Structure 1
Amino acid sequence: MVVAGLLGAAHGHMIMNTPTPYNLDSAPLLQVNPLGAGFPFPCQGRSTVDQTTTITAGQTQLVNFTGGAQHGGGSCQFSLTYEYPPPADKSKWKTIYTLIGGCPVSAAGNLPPSQPDPNGRADSVHCGNDSGTECIRQFNIPIPKDVPNGKATFAWTWFNKIGNREIYMNCAPISITGGSDSTAFFDSLPEMFVANIPGECTTGQGVLNIPNPGKFGKVLEQPADGSEGSCPKANGIPSFDGVASPAFGGSDSHSPAVAAPSPAAPVATPLASPTTLITATKPSVVTPTPIAQPAPPAAPAAGSGSGSGSGAGSAQSCSPDGAIICIGASQFGICDHGHAVPQALAPGTSCSNGVIARV
């Protein structure tokens, strides 16, 4: 399985699980894959509503993630559209918040695995806050007070720091209250940044300095030189407006270029499911405490496992790296460096042709 610190070529595996995304529990199940073949822009092509989250403009929305390969983190954006189904025209998506680096983790590479979610999606240890290291973070994303009221789609996009040049995206149906009856503020927001799919530019390695990130966000890690690849180059490191700015209903203030950390991270706790969340606390300036991590799983012995004919519990030979491997009737694994370690499927799910689905 994945081991912390390895920088393998495996495809990453992450989804936003909160607010409740399209197709979290409905077929075709939301998958932890980057956009690409079979997973089109936008939203992996998913638009089945399992649950609509009500969000109040001028307040914050908790965002959390599930995933077993985090590629050391990267840069993320959070965007809105008011069209349904979610439109393929990227100009219809407007960015409300940008995180440069540190999203959804700040880590050396991939984290050790923990218990999968109820649909069998791989997961790792969670921080329970927005500042822990070597664990999956959660964020309270400010929702501007002047976004329009009504039904909308909230999107998370992620550009991974390490590995193949990819874009990850999934989306959640929401209903916004307490906002504006005008679209003027929404129309003034920057267009969602899209790259690493056909017809778009390709980013470089390292923390991406997202061009035109908007006025609202944080710089959690310094961006890498050349991270723009063939994409437009950002005009320096952004200096974002603070969350207390008028757009969020508070007094005018500005955050520093690199945001102060949140309260000290507790010992990271694996989540049994994406709905079992640790409540985030209001940020304050303290020094985060390092998180004790479980020992990485032992590497499979040479020759152990030989595909589907191996016994239960043995690492399975596999390719390509990053693929979901179905192992027997009740197990799956994620291919990493030519081997997949079996994990139990959640009750009521099955694995077929590299896709985990409800039965």
Structure 2
Amino acid sequence: MQTRIQTLVTALMAFAAGINGHIIMKSPAPFGSVGSTKSITSSPLTSANFPCQVGSDPAKFYSKDGLDNKMVIGQPQKISFEGSAVHGGGSCQLALTKDPQPSASTSWQVILSIEGGCPSKSGTGTDEYDFTIPDSIAPGDYVFAWTWISKLSGTQEYYMNCAPVTITGGSGKREVSQNETMELFGRDDATLPELMVANLADINDCKSELSTDPEFPQPGPNVIKPGSNNKFAPISGSNCVPKGAKAVPSAAPAQTSTSVASDTNLPSTFVTLTIDTSTLPAVTLTTSSAAVTTSSSAVQTTSATASPSPSHASSAPAGPSGSPIPGSGVQGLTGPCKTEGMFNCIGGTSYQQCASGSWSVMMNMPPTTKCQEGQTMTLWGRGLKPQKDSLMGRRRGY
């Protein structure tokens, strides 16, 4: 009788572990894990609470009260977990978004893909994993995501926890002050892929194969395979990304860039970003330029690849066409907009902004500058790195 009771207790404990003992992210501390908003569970996601296990009140769920996660670009970071049912491991992704309240159609940038051996390298207990924030990510406030497709769960599942993080520049990055001369370009790193989503029927038709370690369709440039007993299999389906987002294509069109020899006397074109703090988030862009006269040997033209950034189609609803720039034929969006401060760039040369709940008129970009195609949260400027012998250095007195 005692043996039977022990067997029954063991079975019940195993069953309870299967129900409540799944894995949740421990560090960075996720939304819903502290304070009055504590609501996080270790259950797999459904289409209803994707992403992040968001509840019926996103503003309450995405509260940052009691959470203080800080990361420095380029410095080692760690992700850790708690729980017992690792389901033999599986595959995970780490990603970032600027959206402070991610929804089912939010676009993400994957900074690390872990194919096999996550969240357990051996398949028997949780492990910690090292990662870094890429240099291409701009300092600021982000939402960090961990996703997991388990290996031996018995059914196709998708797990996800999210955490607010504040990312700061490393020792090589210089803070940029208001009214400082800037180099203008889109904030998204086109080499970082969109988040892979599967096993959620209302999001897409993608499925993982049972009892395997999924291989991501587009893992990105940062991939590790730490598992000791991997059994890889591809994800089936198409457009395995958040609802309304677009996968970053594997092939990218070439664009031309120009590099100038440092011993020439070429004048530069600068873009000045002036922020009026009384009317944020509106920005005013001004430019100054000078004619360039030089021999052809001083300028070299090279080709580089770039791919379009993930779509932010859901962040600002499309409205009827309108607001043409006189004489250009370029038409933007009109009517109400959802995300305050969102930019809409057309052709890289014209843009408008969501301000006070409505789309502004279309405006031309300054000569020789381009904005990020599509809708992004900001026309982001990064300070030019001072160089002792560069033209910028001589001109600004570095």
- The CA RMSD measured in Å over matched residues stands at 2.9
Closer, same or farther: CA 98–2 of 1 in aligned 2, 3 Å: farther
Q: Does 1:56 align with 2:72?
A: yes
Residue 66 (structure 1) aligns with: 82
Counterpart amino acid of 2:231? A
Write the distance in 2 (CA, Å) between the matches of 1:104 and 1:149: 28
Residue 119 (structure 2) aligns with: 104
Residue 91 (structure 2) aligns with: 75
Write the distance in 2 (CA, Å) between the matches of 1:35 and 1:24: 16
The answer (yes or no) to whether the contact 1:211–1:232 under 8 Å persists in 2 is no
Write the distance in 1 (CA, Å) between the matches of 2:134 and 2:225: 19
Q: Does 1:15 align with 2:15?
A: no
Name whichever of 204-213 and 18-27 sits farther off: 18-27
The answer (yes or no) to whether the contact 2:144–2:162 under 8 Å persists in 1 is yes
Write the distance in 2 (CA, Å) between the matches of 1:103 and 1:2: 26
Residue 168 (structure 1) aligns with: 159
The residue correspondences of 1:1-359 to structure 2 (distance < 5 A) are: 10=18, 13-26=22-35, 27-36=37-46, 40-45=49-54, 46-49=61-64, 50-90=66-106, 92-108=107-123, 134-163=124-153, 164-178=155-169, 183-199=186-202, 200=204, 201-205=206-210, 206-221=212-227, 224=231, 226-230=233-237
Write the distance in 1 (CA, Å) between the matches of 2:232 and 2:129: 26
Question: Which has the higher relative contact order, 1 or 2, with Cα contacts under 8 A spaced 6 or more apart?
Answer: 1
Question: 1:228, CA displacement in angstroms?
Answer: 2.0
Runs of 5+ in structure 1 lacking a partner? 109-133, 234-359
The answer (yes or no) to whether the contact 2:44–2:157 under 8 Å persists in 1 is yes
Write the distance in 1 (CA, Å) between the matches of 2:15 and 2:116: 17
Give the alignment's TM-score, normalised by structure 1. 0.51
Name whichever of 203-212 and 9-18 sits farther off: 9-18
Question: 1:107, CA displacement in angstroms?
Answer: 3.8
What fraction of aligned residue pairs are identical, expressed as a percent? 32
Question: 1:44, CA displacement in angstroms?
Answer: 0.3
Runs of 5+ in structure 2 lacking a partner? 1-8, 55-60, 177-184, 241-398
The answer (yes or no) to whether the contact 2:191–2:220 under 8 Å persists in 1 is no
Closer, same or farther: CA 210–8 of 1 in aligned 2, 3 Å: farther
Write the distance in 1 (CA, Å) between the matches of 2:103 and 2:163: 13
- The structure with the largest helix share of the pair is 2
Moved over 6 A (4+): 6-9
Give the alignment's TM-score, normalised by structure 2. 0.47
Question: 1:52, CA displacement in angstroms?
Answer: 2.3
Aligned residues: 204
The answer (yes or no) to whether the contact 1:101–1:220 under 8 Å persists in 2 is yes
The answer (yes or no) to whether the contact 2:207–2:237 under 8 Å persists in 1 is yes
Closer, same or farther: CA 193–138 of 1 in aligned 2, 3 Å: same
| Structure 1 residues 232-284: Cα deviation after superposition (integer angstroms, max 9, x where no partner) | 79xxxxxxxxxxxxxxxxxxxxxxxxxxxxxxxxxxxxxxxxxxxxxxxxxxx
